[in-house]
């Protein structure tokens, strides 16, 4: 399949209730086409949420979770008997099993986070926090999917094979779907406070090879 690049803004997000009924999330992107979070037939999902009081996370037995706190003092995640508790600081990517019984407590006030769910055995998720400022940054992309979320500031993105650059502001996401694994991504910060997060989803057969 050919590479598809899409720019997504806050107006493209879909508000979806949490499985446990304790809140809602802003769904940024979902894969594959035609799947729905409510039907449970998705391979991965990127979403934004807020945590303003202690409570349980929804259970996702078939998925890995990758969480990055965007705003606030961080989260204390209690995984019960399945794993040690983890104090997750802001801008510290943390990956854990969606099947673990997880209780979250915000530290020092309300927290806003971005999370990636990836179906186990299908995609391997990763995240890199990029403190760009007004600098340029380049990387070679792996096969699968890439998503650049602008947490602060603004940037210009260029992708191999795309004639035009993409201008992204805070809250925008650039989604690169069906990467072959030879594309180059270049990001140029447009402000001194530019901060972005690069999420990648590598097909499991690629990560095992």
Q: Convert the pLDDT of each residue in 132-166 to its tens digit.
A: 999 999 999 999 999 999 999 999 999 988 889 99
Confidence label for 205 from pLDDT (cuts 50, 70 and 90): confident
Q: Same domain for 202 and 129?
A: yes
Integer CA distances (angstroms), 166 to 36, 46, 57, 112, in order: 28, 20, 35, 26
CB distance 150 to 157 below 8 Å = no
Q: Same domain for 25 and 107?
A: yes
- What's the predicted TM-score (pTM) here? 0.94
All residues at 6 or more sequence positions from 43 whose CB lies less than 8 Å from its CB, including other chains: 31, 32, 35, 118, 119, 122, 123
Residue 201: give its domain's CATH number: 2.60.120.10
**Nearest one of 10, 6, 4, 5 to 114, comparing CA atoms:** 10
Question: Could you give the number of structural domains in the chain?
Answer: 2
pLDDT in tens, 91-146: 999 999 999 999 999 998 999 999 999 999 999 999 999 999 999 999 999 999 99
Task: Report the DSSP beta bridge partners of residue 107.
Answer: none
Q: Same domain for 99 and 154?
A: no
Residue 1 belongs to a domain: no
**What's the pLDDT at 162?**
85
CB distance 72 to 108 below 8 Å = yes
Residue 66 belongs to a domain: yes
Residue 183 belongs to a domain: yes
- Alpha carbon distance 167, 150 (integer Å): 11
Domain of 59, in residue numbers = 12-120
Q: Same domain for 62 and 150?
A: no
Q: Same domain for 18 and 115?
A: yes
């Amino acid at each position: 399949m050919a590479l598809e690049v899409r720019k997504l803004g806050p107006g493209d997000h879909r508000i979806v209730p949490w499985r446990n009924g304790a809140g809602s999330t802003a769904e940024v992107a979902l894969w594959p086409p035609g799947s729905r979070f409510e039907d449970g037939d998705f391979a991965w999902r990127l979403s934004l949420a807020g945590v303003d009081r202690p409570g349980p996370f929804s259970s996702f037995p078939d998925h890995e979770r990758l969480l990055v706190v965007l705003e606030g003092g961080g989260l204390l995640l209690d995984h019960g008997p399945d794993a040690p508790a983890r104090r997750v600081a802001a801008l510290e990517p943390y990956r854990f099993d969606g099947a673990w019984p997880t209780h979250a407590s915000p530290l020092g006030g309300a927290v806003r986070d971005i999370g990636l769910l990836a179906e186990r055995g299908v995609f391997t998720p990763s995240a890199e926090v990029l403190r760009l400022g007004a600098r340029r940054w380049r990387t070679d992309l792996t096969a699968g999917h890439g998503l650049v979320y602008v947490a602060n500031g603004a940037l210009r993105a260029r992708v191999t094979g795309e004639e035009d650059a993409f201008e992204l502001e805070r809250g925008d996401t650039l989604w690169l779907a069906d990467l072959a694994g030879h594309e180059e991504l270049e990001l140029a910060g447009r402000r001194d406070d530019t901060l972005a997060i690069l999420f990648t989803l590598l097909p499991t057969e690629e990560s095992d090879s």
